[in-house]
Structure formats: structure tokens, C-alpha cells
Amino acid sequence: MTKIDKDVLEKLTREVAEAIEEVGGIISLDVESFLKDRRARFSLRYSIVLIVESLADIAVAILEKDFNEIVESYRDAIMKLRDKGLMGSRVAESIARLVSLRNLIVHRYRVVDDLKIYESAKNSGVENIERFIEEVSRYVEVKDD
């Protein structure tokens, strides 16, 4: 049986779903409209941050509660879930790239490239986020059977 708090998992999953919905509305804009719309650009940035932090919180909770492991970073948490067989490499690597994007947005290592963020979200970013949630949810369900 998994030791992860189901209420916490449900709350984080809901936050991700809401952020994905927001991202979906934004990436439905054409590129030119997106780049001209400051609110859309800022909302996409914040949605990416929220998604990554929620996914990382899920990963950390599973690793701490079920495997008694401590992680050093969000990327480490995602890769350890992959190493434990909770998700495939493609999904883990995609989420790891989102972690890098989140770090760029939050820490402003360089100028934030809104076009890059938009293209990343439009080109399978959302699909892999949904797959992460599916694979983690499957793990939790199987552990509870």
C-alpha cells in the first residue's frame, strides 16, 4: 500500500489539471496574438511554474513516503521516479525539460523567451504532463490493491 496522502495527491492533480486548462486556452492563440498579449504570456509562465511545482511535489511525496528517499532537486525527483519504474524515460525527460524551463522563468538565468515557452507547450508538453499524472495515478492505484 502506498503511504502517499490521497487528499494531497488529489489536490495537486487538480492544480495541474487547472493549469493545463489555462495552457490549452493560451496555446490555442496564434503566435502573433500570444506574443502581443502580456496577460497570456505571464499566465503561461505562471502555469508552467505551477505545473512543475505540483508534479515535483507529487514525485517528492512518493519518494519520501514509499521509498524513504530524499531528493536534491525537482529534476532529481523526476528522474528517481523513472529509475524506480514509475514512468517511462520519454515522459521523465519531457518533465525534466519543463523543470529547466521553470528554473529559467523563476530564476531568470537569461531573458525569458516567451516564444520558446509557447512552442514547448504547444509541441507535446501538455501531453507528457497528462501522461505523468496517469502513470503516477496508476502506481498509486496498483499499490493500494
Best CA proximity match to 48, nearest among 27, 34, 64: 27
Q: How far apart are CA 75 and CA 83, in angstroms?
A: 12
DSSP state, 109? Answer: S
pLDDT for 96 equals 93
Phi first, then psi, for residue 87 (nearest 5°) are -155, 160
8-26: b (≥16 Cβ within 10 Å) or e: ebeebbebbeebbebbeeb
Phi first, then psi, for residue 110 (nearest 5°) are -135, 180
pLDDT for 16 equals 96
Give residue limits of the domains in the chain. Answer: 6-144
Question: What global pTM score does this model have?
Answer: 0.91
pLDDT for 26 equals 95
pLDDT for 3 equals 84
pLDDT for 38 equals 96
pLDDT for 15 equals 96
- Topology adopted by domain 6-144: Four Helix Bundle (Hemerythrin (Met), subunit A) (1.20.120)
Residues of the chain with pLDDT under 50: none
